[in-house]
Amino acid sequence: MRVVIFDVDGTLVDSQDDICAAMGAAFGSIGRVAPPRAEICAIVGLSLPEAMRVLAPELEAHHVALVEGYKASYMALRAEKGTAESSPLYEGALAALDRLRAEDETLLAVATGKSRRGLDKLLEGHGLQGYFMSEQVADHHPSKPHPAMLEAVLQETGLRKDQAVMVGDTRFDMEMARAAGIATIGVSWGYHAAESLKADRLIEHFDALHGAVNDLLGEPV
């Protein structure tokens, strides 16, 4: 048995535009200008409270308002545009998930900085309910790169560290996996520079995912 654990934003779906727009609205709600897009993309993967601490340490008194403003704006954008446009799946993502899911020996899981509500809406919008045996969200764990999410995946699946691999696009994903003692696959299409990931394997398209998983965990028998 093996488990392939996925990050969401920047790995499975491209939500960059809505993340930046929602961040702009959140800062605007307190009369401030949001940081540049590059700085916003650099914090994708962190839980929202931690993201605000990194983006605006000088605005500590407004962090709760920024978090709530972001959530409200992001939900409004998703409702207005629909999930397929708001957070489209990357090319090849669904086919890669289906291929892995079809293997009796392979389980799928999620470890994301999204909230439970946010992940539920995303999975519903893309018809992915039931794909993931374990779904770990920011509501119940410390922010990445703390390894708690991955430890929970192992506990829920009953698998060992050497039977798991983390797939992500940010250094927070890779650092979380290393802290948990789990192998890493970095994707080049996400929000952090590929060279910053220092992953065990780096892939440039979802077509390469299955082979990378087999290389790191062995082929299912």
120 is known as an active-site residue:
no
DSSP output for the chain: -EEEEE--BTTTB--HHHHHHHHHHHHHTTT-PPPPHHHHHHTBTB-HHHHHHHH-GGGGGGHHHHHHHHHHHHHHHHHHH-HHHHSPBPTTHHHHHHHHHT-TTEEEEEE-SS-HHHHHHHHHHHT-TTS-SEEE-GGGSPPTTSTHHHHHHHHHHT--GGGEEEEESSHHHHHHHHHHT-EEEEETTSSS-GGGT--SEEESSGGGHHHHHHHHH----
Q: Could you say which of 9, 14, 18, 200 is catalytic?
A: 9
7 is known as an active-site residue:
yes
Q: Could you say which of 7, 14, 18, 169 is catalytic?
A: 7
**Catalytic (active-site) positions:** 7, 9
